[in-house]
């Protein structure tokens, strides 16, 4: 609820009693008054000076002689005293508290508040709602109170099972109207999370400052203690009474985190004593990555979760041009594989041109979670300190793979053969995608893997299995399945071979060879023998042809366009987009063809050309499997009919790409004929403006941005945050060449 809404209607409460006018109690009283959330705010505080200061400075309307007086007639009572004083306050007010009053608190531990309420009242009544605003500063007392203290901060409420719904809703509204984001969680969970994120850090700050103050040359230390020391220990100036209460009331949860921390600190101590730079580098680079993804991580589990926590909308104006000379980011498929093989290799692998998109970063993070030291990425440069085929360590929690099907399927192969158990999870889209296609053949090799309902993630892989090579004829043309089995095959006894029904991308085979691992290759079959080793290599990752595809189509459909795309990978298993566009009449030239790191690359020049509709050859489908969303846009802009068939795999990509594209085109006034395995598009229809839902699919979002070049009106494309999975600087490059695309973001 916006604050203005609250001000303009009835106040949420008649009389609010705030017991304890410290920083938090005083700030809440002030925020309630400033935002008109109650008719009257009355304060009580055992310290007469704080109380009269509160009255004088307008923090409260009325100063009560006692807590019991304050709560008389109050419909909201807020206990804001140090947590260990709560129980005696509750006893003082028990007989004066109205039965209809909502009773809440602001303490940093919630189990202790609930226990105090139970001791005083016998049970947790329906209107008792423990609360905790995660706000404050090292300053204390009513003089430090600020009406805006809670703005853009979280307030956690921990209602019990019998909580009165209306009371909860009003308390929520009150906090929201003070600018806070309100979360709900069980009491025990709150206390665990806060022990880790707040209580232990305070303990460490208090302890470190105290230790250094006790050193003989403490004057020198404090004289030169600037920067890091000051930042790190700011919270050691917090209120000692309040914090002593916190530790005594949340002792169990704090001790658990503290023991874990002490053990980790001991290990670092040991590493320094042993001059073990590898361990230091591993822990520090893992922590640096975790800190950089701070807002996106969840405590206790894999380091990075839920990478896309914002809502992103593209707003695209019609028209625009396509001119210039650009390089799109590194190939996603090759980036994933470079991390995987680099981690398992012996020696240090250096990578250039690594895609710093969320998908490949999830793979990188997962290897960090398994103990691999990885430096970077820094402008596409990554250095991996390989641990060898058997050097991975068990991760502390599930490996979170974001939006990436490639990561999950390739990981399942290489993790099936490790000595430890793993669980693989992903975001909403990945959690809907089929995983039995890898789990079933891996089981034939002896792996123990559980998929969730319907063969979907999470995958639970039981380690310690002996794998045996198989000969597998894939039922679908999938490079992910092929790669998964080849990776498992590196660990299996004997030969593992995979036969594909049609050629699919062969980056795994090429890169294995680049790392010195023999791969027997026949036209439709790739074969490895287990038990070998990988040797570190240098990898130059070409620009991703799947990202270049958006600009190939953009230039092809825009009169006057002339664009150079540099250093694009043109591996023949990926060039379906060029072949199909050329069949449609596109003008694409391959310049300066060369080889980079075992992959063919070229600069592509593309100019406008009138396109015509075609029957897309079925053998091109696996070679352009990721490019169909934007090819559908080309088909709409072409003259005549385009028919796609044999493409049922599109239905199980990041979204059902046939249906989602058809729905998006329909929203722009273009009707198509959807088939189970493809689509028929009559070219030449007018693309109108409208609102398109990308269903969180990066390639759908980018395809509709390209459509704007030939649209008649503005296009709004919703749910575009996942563009960052494969093409983080798409918007900047699109703007650079002349597309009129703007971004709106909301948390
Ligand atoms: C990929 C293979 C393809 C492709 C995906 C990346 C890979 O998936 O769609 O974006 O890196 O191996 P399938 O193998 O499932 O077709």
CATH of the domain at 270: 1.10.3660.10
Give me 537's structure tokens. Answer: 């290599």
Nearest Cα neighbor of 56 from 21, 28, 15, 7 is: 21
Q: Is residue 462 part of a domain?
A: yes
The helix, strand and coil proportions of the chain, stated in percent and rounded to the nearest 5, come to 40, 20, 35
**In the structure, what pLDDT confidence band is assigned to residue 447 with cuts at 50, 70 and 90?**
very high
Q: What is the CATH number of the domain that holds 596?
A: 3.65.10.10
**In the structure, what pLDDT confidence band is assigned to residue 212 with cuts at 50, 70 and 90?**
confident
Q: Which of 540, 560, 594 is where one domain is finished?
A: 540
Q: Cis peptide before 377, with omega less than 30 degrees from 0?
A: yes
Q: Is residue 608 part of a domain?
A: yes
Enumerate the β-bridge partners of residue 346. Answer: 535
Q: Is residue 65 part of a domain?
A: yes
Nearest Cα neighbor of 278 from 416, 383, 396, 142 is: 383
Same domain, residue pair 176 and 239: no
Same domain, residue pair 153 and 206: no
Nearest Cα neighbor of 331 from 434, 479, 467 is: 479
Same domain, residue pair 628 and 710: yes
Q: Quick count: other Cβ atoms within 10 Å of Cβ 265?
A: 12
Enumerate the β-bridge partners of residue 715. Answer: 316, 690
Q: Name the residue with tokens 């019998």.
A: 162
- pLDDT above 90 covers a percentage of the chain that reads 83
Same domain, residue pair 346 and 231: no
| Confidence at residue 90, expressed as pLDDT on a 0 to 100 scale | 97
Residue 533's φ and ψ, nearest 5 degrees, are -135, 160
Same domain, residue pair 576 and 661: yes
Q: Quick count: other Cβ atoms within 10 Å of Cβ 509?
A: 23
Question: With 0-12 CB in 10 A as exposed, 13-18 as middle and 19+ as buried, what is 346?
Answer: middle
Give the atom of ligand 1 at the shortest distance from the alpha carbon of 652. 15
**In the structure, what pLDDT confidence band is assigned to residue 5 with cuts at 50, 70 and 90?**
very low
**In the structure, what pLDDT confidence band is assigned to residue 292 with cuts at 50, 70 and 90?**
low
Among residues 369, 506, 603, 626, the one annotated as catalytic is 626
Give me 337's structure tokens. Answer: 């594989």
Distance set, CA 367 to CA 263, 350, 629, 644, 676 (Å): 22, 15, 31, 39, 38
Same domain, residue pair 566 and 440: no
* pLDDT tens digits for range 247-271: 999 999 999 999 999 999 999 999 9
| Confidence at residue 197, expressed as pLDDT on a 0 to 100 scale | 87
Which strands make up the sheet holding 538-540, listed edge to edge?
Answer: 373-378, 381-385, 348-352, 538-540
Q: Is residue 606 part of a domain?
A: yes
Q: Is residue 291 part of a domain?
A: no
Same domain, residue pair 536 and 547: no
* pLDDT tens digits for range 687-741: 999 999 999 999 999 999 999 999 999 999 999 999 999 999 999 999 999 999 9
Instruction: Report residues whose beta carbon is within 6 angstroms of any ligand 1 atom.
Output: 333, 406, 478-480, 483, 504-505, 625-626, 649
Same domain, residue pair 577 and 481: no
Supply the range of the domain harboring residue 224: 192-275
Mutate to test the pocket of ligand 1, among 480, 526, 573 (most ligand atoms within 8 A of CB): 480
Q: What is the CATH number of the domain that holds 139?
A: 3.40.50.720
- What is the spatial distance between Cα 20 and Cα 41, in angstroms, rounded to a whole number? 13
* pLDDT tens digits for range 345-365: 999 999 999 999 989 998 998
* pLDDT tens digits for range 641-654: 999 999 999 999 99
Enumerate the β-bridge partners of residue 720. Answer: none
- As a whole number of Å, the end-to-end CA separation of the chain is 16
Residue 638's φ and ψ, nearest 5 degrees, are -85, 165
Q: How far away, in angstroms, is 519 Cα from ligand 1 center?
A: 20
- What is the spatial distance between Cα 330 and Cα 322, in angstroms, rounded to a whole number? 21
- What is the spatial distance between Cα 358 and Cα 682, in angstroms, rounded to a whole number? 36
Q: Is residue 243 part of a domain?
A: yes
| Confidence at residue 344, expressed as pLDDT on a 0 to 100 scale | 98
Same domain, residue pair 33 and 72: yes
Same domain, residue pair 696 and 559: yes
| Confidence at residue 7, expressed as pLDDT on a 0 to 100 scale | 45
Protein residue with its CA nearest to atom 13 in ligand 1: 478
Within 8 A by CB and 6+ apart from 419, the residues are: 390, 463, 464
Q: Is residue 532 part of a domain?
A: yes
Given CA atoms 331, 541, 342, 276 in this order, what sign does their dihedral have? Answer: negative
Q: How far away, in angstroms, is 480 Cα from ligand 1 center?
A: 5
Residue 334: pLDDT above 50? yes
| Confidence at residue 200, expressed as pLDDT on a 0 to 100 scale | 95
Average pLDDT over residues 158-182: 96
* pLDDT tens digits for range 694-708: 999 999 999 999 999
Same domain, residue pair 433 and 317: no
Same domain, residue pair 153 and 78: yes
Q: How far away, in angstroms, is 392 Cα from ligand 1 center?
A: 25
Q: Quick count: other Cβ atoms within 10 Å of Cβ 619?
A: 13
Q: How far away, in angstroms, is 327 Cα from ligand 1 center?
A: 22
Q: What is the rounded average pLDDT for all residues in the chain?
A: 93
More confident residue, 524 or 9: 524
Q: Which of 161, 185, 209 is where one domain is finished?
A: 185
Q: Is 697 part of the annotated catalytic residue set?
A: no
Number of domains in the chain: 4
Give the atom of ligand 1 at the shortest distance from the alpha carbon of 477. 16
Q: Which of 540, 561, 590 is where one domain is finished?
A: 540
Residue 453: pLDDT above 60? yes
Residue 563: pLDDT above 50? yes
Mutate to test the pocket of ligand 1, among 359, 434, 478 (most ligand atoms within 8 A of CB): 478
Residue 290: pLDDT above 80? no
Label residues 97-128 b or e (16+ Cβ within 10 Å = b).
beeebbbbbbbbbbbbbbbbbeebeeebbbbb
Q: How far away, in angstroms, is 467 Cα from ligand 1 center?
A: 24
- What is the spatial distance between Cα 258 and Cα 521, in angstroms, rounded to a whole number? 54
Q: Is residue 295 part of a domain?
A: no
Q: Can you point out the beta strands (E) in 322-430?
A: 323-326, 348-352, 373-378, 381-385, 399-400, 422-425
pTM, 2 dp: 0.72
* pLDDT tens digits for range 371-410: 888 888 888 999 999 999 999 999 988 999 989 999 999 9
Residue 281: pLDDT above 90? no
* pLDDT tens digits for range 294-316: 444 332 233 343 444 678 999 99
């Amino acid at each position: 609820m916006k604050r203005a809404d609250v001000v303009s209607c009835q106040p949420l409460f008649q009389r609010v009693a705030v017991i304890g006018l410290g920083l938090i109690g005083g700030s809440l009283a002030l925020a309630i008054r400033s935002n008109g959330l109650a008719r009257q705010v009355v304060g009580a505080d055992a310290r007469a000076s704080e109380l009269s200061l509160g009255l004088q400075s307008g923090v409260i309307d009325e100063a009560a002689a006692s807590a019991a007086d304050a709560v008389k007639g109050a419909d909201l009572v807020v206990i804001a005293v140090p947590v260990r004083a709560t129980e005696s306050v509750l006893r003082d007010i028990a007989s004066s508290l109205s039965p209809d009053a909502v009773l809440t608190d602001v303490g940093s531990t919630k189990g202790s508040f609930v226990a105090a309420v139970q001791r005083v009242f016998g049970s947790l009544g329906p209107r008792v709602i423990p609360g905790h605003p995660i706000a404050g500063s090292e300053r204390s007392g009513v003089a430090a109170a600020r009406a805006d203290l809670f703005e853009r901060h979280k307030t956690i409420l921990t209602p019990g099972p019998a909580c009165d719904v209306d009371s909860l809703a009003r308390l929520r509204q009150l906090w929201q109207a003070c600018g806070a984001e309100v979360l709900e969680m069980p009491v025990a969970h709150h206390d665990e999370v806060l022990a880790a994120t707040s209580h232990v850090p305070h303990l460490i700050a208090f302890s470190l400052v105290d230790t250094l103050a006790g050193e003989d040359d403490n004057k020198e230390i404090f004289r030169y203690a600037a920067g890091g020391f000051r930042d790190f220990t700011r919270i050691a100036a917090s209120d000692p009474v309040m914090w002593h209460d916190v530790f005594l009331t949340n002792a169990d949860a704090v001790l658990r985190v503290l023991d874990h921390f002490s053990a980790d600190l001991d290990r670092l101590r040991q590493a320094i004593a042993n001059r073990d730079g590898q361990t230091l580098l591993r822990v520090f680079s893992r922590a640096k990555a975790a800190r950089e993804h701070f807002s996106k991580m969840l405590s206790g589990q894999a380091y990075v979760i839920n990478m896309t926590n914002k809502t992103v909308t593209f707003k695209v104006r019609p028209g625009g041009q396509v001119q210039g000379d650009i390089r799109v980011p590194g190939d996603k498929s090759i980036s994933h594989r470079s991390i995987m093989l680099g981690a398992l290799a012996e020696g240090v692998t250096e990578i250039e041109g690594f895609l710093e998109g969320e998908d490949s970063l999830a793979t990188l993070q997962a290897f960090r979670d398994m103990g691999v030291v990885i430096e970077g990425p820094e402008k596409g440069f990554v250095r991996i300190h390989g641990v060898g085929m058997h050097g991975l360590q068990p991760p502390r929690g599930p490996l979170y793979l974001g939006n990436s099907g490639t990561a999950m399927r390739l990981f399942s192969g290489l993790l099936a053969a490790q000595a430890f158990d793993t669980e693989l999870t992903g975001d909403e889209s990945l959690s809907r995608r089929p995983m039995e296609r890898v789990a079933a053949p891996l089981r034939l090799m002896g792996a123990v893997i559980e998929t969730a309902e319907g063969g979907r993630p999470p995958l639970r892989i039981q380690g310690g299995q002996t794998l045996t090579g198989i000969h597998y004829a894939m039922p679908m043309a999938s490079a992910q399945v092929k790669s998964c089995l080849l990776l498992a095959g590196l660990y299996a006894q004997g030969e593992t071979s995979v036969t594909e029904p049609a050629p699919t991308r062969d980056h795994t085979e090429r890169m294995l060879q680049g790392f010195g691992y023999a791969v027997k290759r026949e036209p439709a079959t790739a074969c490895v023998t287990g038990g070998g080793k990988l040797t570190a290599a240098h990898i130059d990752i070409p620009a991703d042809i799947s990202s270049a595809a958006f600009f190939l189509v953009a230039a092809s459909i825009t009169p006057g366009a002339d664009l150079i795309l540099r250093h694009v990978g043109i591996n023949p298993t990926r060039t379906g987009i060029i072949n199909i566009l050329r069949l449609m009449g596109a003008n694409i030239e391959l310049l300066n063809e060369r080889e980079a790191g075992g992959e063919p690359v070229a600069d592509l020049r593309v100019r406008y050309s009138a396109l015509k509709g075609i029957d897309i050859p079925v053998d091109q489908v696996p070679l352009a499997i990721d490019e169909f969303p934007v090819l559908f846009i080309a088909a709409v802009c072409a003259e005549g009919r385009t028919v796609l068939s044999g493409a049922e795999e599109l239905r199980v990509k990041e979204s059902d790409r046939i249906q989602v594209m058809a729905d998006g085109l329909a929203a722009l006034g273009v009707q198509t004929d959807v088939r189970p395995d493809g689509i028929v598009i009559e070219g030449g229809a007018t693309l109108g403006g409208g609102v398109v839902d990308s269903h969180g699919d990066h390639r759908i979002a980018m395809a509709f941005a390209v459509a704007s070049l030939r649209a008649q009106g503005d296009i709004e494309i919703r749910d575009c945050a996942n563009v960052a999975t494969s093409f983080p600087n798409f918007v900047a490059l699109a703007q650079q060449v002349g597309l009129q695309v703007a971004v709106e973001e909301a948390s």
